[in-house]
Amino acid sequence: MQGQEYLNQISAENRPLKKNGKGIFHSKIFMASMIGLIILIVIIIIGSILSGSKDREKNLSLALKLHLDNTASVISKYQSQIKSSDLRSSSASFYSVLSNTSNELTDYLTKKYNYKEKDIDKGLVDEATLSKDGLEADLFEAKINGILDRIYAHKMVYEISLFMNEESKLMNMTKDSDYKEILTKSYNSLNNLSGSFSNFSETK
């Protein structure tokens, strides 16, 4: 029995001592710190999302501004060369909508972002210029092939669909009621014009 008692004594001595308390990971200070850290991370994430949303709205608005001005420039170049009086009339209305929207958008961007043309990101400018050059090239080719009216009508329908898509995105994104009103007015005008181009026929 003495041997057994000796072994029991050794076993008892080798057992780990129970620590007082629950340890640092269960302390009130640690838990409070962790909660504070989690709240900070959530605030940073939300701030990043909101900031990204604002930047996206600004960039889409600037891209729309470039698109409006570039398309208006192309229209002014080719409108006088269109044979159909009905198509010229529709084109003039389209130009008017683009110009009015561009002017209102410029005022909004200036007030909201202190807009200056020279400050627009080069990538946005290059992308817009590429689209403009493509439109001009297609119309030039149509002109020398004697089919300008037909191709012009087709291209304007496409441009209108692009504008309506851009404006729809911004209408759903912006919280500014004045900006939403500008976009809605332009969108509705473009929607009304779309039919006059899509229904164009050279036989009329």
Distance CA 153, CA 24 (A): 74
Instruction: Tell me the pLDDT band of 169, cut-offs 50, 70 and 90.
Output: very high
Tell me the two tokens of residue 21.
Answer: 């308390």
The better pLDDT of the pair 30, 192 is held by: 192
Instruction: Tell me the pLDDT band of 113, cut-offs 50, 70 and 90.
Output: very high
**Which one-letter DSSP state was computed for residue 203?**
T
Burial of 190 (0-12, 13-18, 19+ CB in 10 A): buried
Q: In the Cβ-directed half-sphere of 78, how many Cα atoms lie within 13 Å?
A: 29
Neighbours of 65 (CB within 10 A): 21
Distance CA 179, CA 63 (A): 15
What are the φ and ψ backbone dihedral angles of 20, each rounded to 5 degrees? -75, 140
pLDDT at residue 117 in the model: 86
Q: What percent of the chain has pLDDT over 70?
A: 72
Highest mean pLDDT among 19-33, 36-50, 74-88: 74-88
Q: Mean pLDDT over residues 133-157, rounded? A: 97
pLDDT at residue 45 in the model: 45
Q: Mean pLDDT over residues 19-32, rounded? A: 58
Instruction: Tell me the pLDDT band of 20, cut-offs 50, 70 and 90.
Output: low
Query: The tokens 């164009």 sit on which residue?
Result: 200
Q: Is 58's pLDDT higher than 50?
A: yes
Distance CA 98, CA 193 (A): 12
pLDDT at residue 42 in the model: 44
pLDDT at residue 46 in the model: 46
pLDDT tens string 32-52 = 665 755 655 544 444 444 444
pLDDT at residue 49 in the model: 44
Q: Is 15's pLDDT higher than 60?
A: no
pLDDT at residue 124 in the model: 94
Residue-range domains of the chain with CATH: 54-198 (1.20.1260.10)
Among 6-10, 31-35, 45-49, 54-58, name the one with the lowest average pLDDT: 45-49
pLDDT at residue 44 in the model: 45
| pTM metric for this prediction | 0.74
DSSP sequence for 17-43: PPPSSS-GGGSHHHHHHHHHHHHHHHH
Average pLDDT, the chain: 84
